[in-house]
Amino acid sequence: MKSVALMSASAPEPLIGIRVVSLASNLPGPIAAAQLASMGAQVTKIEPPAGDPLAAVARAWYDELVADQEIVVLDLKQSEQRGRLDNYLADADALITAMRPSALNRLDLHRLSETHPALVHVEIVGHDGDAAEVPGHDLTYQAAHGTLCPPTMPLVPVADLLGAERAVSAAVAGLLSRTRVGRGGGYKIVLDHAAQMAGAAVRHGLMGPATPLGGALPTYRIYPTLDGYVALGALEPHFAARVSEHIGRTIEELESTFKTRTTSYWEAIGREHDIPLAEVKTPTSGVTND
């Protein structure tokens, strides 16, 4: 199976020759590892005997993420198999973990600067400081920073995705720094901080009910059509002017007009007049897009 294209097909592979070991399961770590693999890194994913929980609930996504990686099963609670991990780390340039500090300590991975000084360690955690051992997941991080509209569950794991991108940046920055100083180092990615950054759009009044990007603007809204919905994203004045000329001006006028035609008709109008307008796809479960 071919992996998901996480970089442009025409982009170079800047991490060829770089070896990455990942102990991370669920989402942020595996997404980050897949991104590094798409940049040319050789990734070894070490999983416990029970496997990655992601594989049990979203097998197709798991398969996409690990398609270009070596999967090694190790029971790190067993001393002999824990020793095999050190063998992998001895040849690695970067390590990705996603566990609480206590678990890191139990695996004796909290002294990497001493045992593997050249290694770049990207440590993905939920919280930091006094809250370092507090459990959490994407849902609780989003809840804490105002990016949920209860009782609706989120459709996108925002904190996990942002955390993954931060982990990639940290890995690349760490590798670049190592070329200058000759040593690796530790880089901590806090998912709660990622969720806080995502919540800034709400805190500053840009998104949310009755805000500019929350439906208050006639030209930046979701409208029902004859057979579905369209998303209209005409923020810039020249786009807004085209909407006014070809569809309508006010929210009421646009609502009334959009309802008279099918979604495909309005998408054609958008293409014809260079208006940012797209069908709102229905969320699906268990279906992958080719």
pTM of this structure:
0.89
Residue 260 belongs to some domain of the structure: yes
Calculate mean pLDDT across residues 125-152: 96
pLDDT at 288: 53
| pLDDT confidence band for 50 (50 / 70 / 90) | very high
Residue 164 belongs to some domain of the structure: yes
Calculate mean pLDDT across residues 127-147: 96
Calculate mean pLDDT across residues 71-78: 96
One domain, residues 169 and 254: no
Q: What total of structural domains would you count in the chain? A: 2
pLDDT in tens, 86-103: 999 999 999 999 999 999
pLDDT at 179: 95
pLDDT at 283: 83
The domain that holds 66 is classified in CATH as 3.40.50.10540
One domain, residues 224 and 149: no
The Cβ-side half-sphere exposure at 185, using a 13 Å CA radius, reads: 16
Residue 5 belongs to some domain of the structure: no
User: 266: domain range?
Assistant: 217-279
The domain that holds 244 is classified in CATH as 3.30.1540.10
Q: Phi and psi at residue 130, in whole multiples of 5°?
A: -65, -20
pLDDT at 88: 96
Q: Is the pLDDT of residue 287 over 60?
A: no
One domain, residues 105 and 237: no
Calculate mean pLDDT across residues 254-260: 98
Q: Is the pLDDT of residue 2 over 80?
A: no
One domain, residues 118 and 184: yes
One domain, residues 181 and 236: no
| pLDDT confidence band for 8 (50 / 70 / 90) | low
Residues with Cβ within 8 Å of residue 78, at least 6 apart in sequence? none
Calculate mean pLDDT across residues 60-78: 96
One domain, residues 153 and 254: no
| pLDDT confidence band for 108 (50 / 70 / 90) | very high
Residue 223 belongs to some domain of the structure: yes
Residue 161 belongs to some domain of the structure: yes
One domain, residues 77 and 24: yes
